[in-house]
Amino acid sequence: MTNQPAQSNFGRFAGKGVFSHQYAFTLLFPVRNIFLSPRQLVKRLELKPDAVVLEVGCGPGYFSPKVAAAIPNGKLVLADIQPEMLKKARARMEKKNQTNTDYYTCQGAGFDFPDNTFDRIFLITVMGEVEEKELYLKEFFRMLKPTGLLSVSEQAGDPDKLSIAQTTQLATQAGFAVNKLYGGERNYTLNFIK
């Protein structure tokens, strides 16, 4: 009997599944701003300076410094399932002197944060990679404050990309209601309220 080889790093870059941390540098190419820039994201998140924000699947933190800068009296928690990604994100935040940041390694299941902790929870090109989508969304509902926003962005070219209908169905099943849609089917941000 032959063992099936594990998916190669290249497969995890170009194919479906968790994006390999070895290709994290490709997530920092500024050409990404064509689809969604950090500045645009900050506007879409409608942040107050003291907001407490959770970014799930932060990768190497392309969007994170601008978000942290927009909440000088608040806190940004960067979360990822790959500790290597968190290490890269931390290095990027330190280089940009952003200190209002915590780091959290996801286990692919429940989160260790109390109910009603966050004003914002956001994910960018992550939801399609998450194996336990329903559980994550239930957890987001639990951890989000009653006045909070869940923001899910998806981008063209991502092999795991979810359609607007798929994202909407998953979120509404967990109890969320659509608040705003930015963009269209190829590149979009969907904001949800509780």
Ligand X SMILES: C[S@@+](CC[C@H](N)C(=O)[O-])C[C@H]1O[C@@H](n2cnc3c(N)ncnc32)[C@H](O)[C@@H]1O
Q: Does 188 bind ligand X (CB under 6 A)?
A: no
The residue from 59, 65, 74, 148 that contacts ligand X (CB under 6 A) is: 59
Taking phi over 0 as left and psi of -120 to 50 as alpha, with beta for the rest, 79 belongs to: beta
Site string for ligand X, 107-136 (x = CB under 6 A): -x---------------xxx--xx------
Number of residues that bind ligand X (CB under 6 A): 19
Query: Applying CB under 6 A, which of residues 53, 54, 70, 80 lies at the interface with ligand X?
Result: 80
CA 3 to centroid of chain Cα atoms? 34
149 phi/psi in degrees, rounded to 5: -125, 135
* Identity of the residue, 15 or 108, whose beta carbon is nearer to ligand X in the bound complex: 108
Q: Is 18 among the residues that bind ligand X (CB under 6 A)?
A: yes
Residue 67 interacting with ligand X (CB under 6 A): no
CA-based torsion, 36, 38, 40, 43: positive or negative? positive
68 binds ligand X (CB under 6 A): no
Q: Is 141 one of the binding residues for ligand X (CB under 6 A)?
A: no
Report in angstroms the alpha-carbon separations of 78 from 34, 59, 67, 185. 24, 9, 11, 27
- Choice between 22 and 172, CB closer to ligand X: 22
The span of 5-13, 75-83, 169-177, 180-188 binding ligand X (CB under 6 A) equals 75-83
Distance CA 148, CA 15 (A): 33
Q: For residue 46, what are the CA distances in angstroms to 115, 138, 144, 155, 164?
A: 21, 22, 15, 20, 21
The residue among 77 and 106 lying less far from ligand X, judged by its C-beta, is: 106
Are 94 and 126 contacting, i.e. CB atoms less than 8 angstroms apart? no
For binding to ligand X (CB under 6 A), which residues are involved?
Answer: 18-19, 27, 56-59, 62, 80-82, 85, 106, 108, 124-126, 129-130
